[in-house]
Amino acid sequence: MRPRAIAAMLLLLLVSSSLASASPIKPITIGFGGGVSVPVSDAKDAFKSGWHGTGILKFRLPGMPFDLSGAFAYHRFKLDQSAVGFAGNGRILSGLGNATFNLPVPGPIKPYITAGLGAFNVKADPDSSGAQAAPSTTKFGIDGGAGVSFSLFGAHGFIEGKIENIYTDQGLNKAVVSDFKTQIIPVTFGIFL
């Protein structure tokens, strides 16, 4: 029974992909997504893996080989008490502008690469009132990554992975003031309407 259900789902996805590919391309689309956020570099010592949600506004320019987009994301992590000195949550708010180059590959699944820059606001929220967390700080950052887009029931879905590099110069605890590299790998699944 399961192989038949999987085959039916794949057939439905292929049919919806062919129908959606025949529809005209919209110049402006809105997208939503979410997924897992994995801290790397110094950030993995302060943060445990978390989650994120994002909203995207994409602009398709006629005759241009790339799309432009603006994205706002919210990342949430648990703090590693042994590294930071207190328990609690960390959060990162970001606003990014990206350029996305769609690779010319035929078929219903379209790979792409993307890169951008923007601002990131990093904050730690301790669980206990006596903890000395650094105030929220807004820093410049860049991101880059790759993904695939596909048609899904009349909408366009995507799965992408990026690395976000936030140029921070201190950590989440006031005692940690040396170089603190904040790098995060968000893996996102989402849709464009």
* pLDDT (tens place) for every residue of the chain, 193 residues total: 455 555 555 444 444 444 444 445 678 999 999 999 999 887 777 788 899 999 999 998 887 888 999 999 999 998 877 776 777 888 999 999 999 999 988 888 999 999 999 999 988 887 766 666 667 888 999 999 999 999 877 778 999 999 999 987 655 544 444 556 788 999 999 999 8
Q: Which amino acid is at 121?
A: N
92, 141 in Cβ contact below 8 A? Answer: no
How much is the pLDDT for 24? Answer: 59
55, 95 in Cβ contact below 8 A? Answer: no
Q: What is the pTM of this model?
A: 0.76
How much is the pLDDT for 141? Answer: 93
Q: How distant, in Å, are the alpha carbons of 92, 109, 111, 158, 175 from that of 152?
A: 30, 11, 15, 9, 49
How much is the pLDDT for 155? Answer: 76
Distance between CA atoms of 134 and 136, rounded to whole angstroms? 7
Domains and CATH numbers, the chain: 2-192 (2.40.160.20)
- Strand, coil or helix: 123: strand
- Sign of the alpha-carbon torsion through 73, 46, 80, 128: negative
How much is the pLDDT for 19? Answer: 42
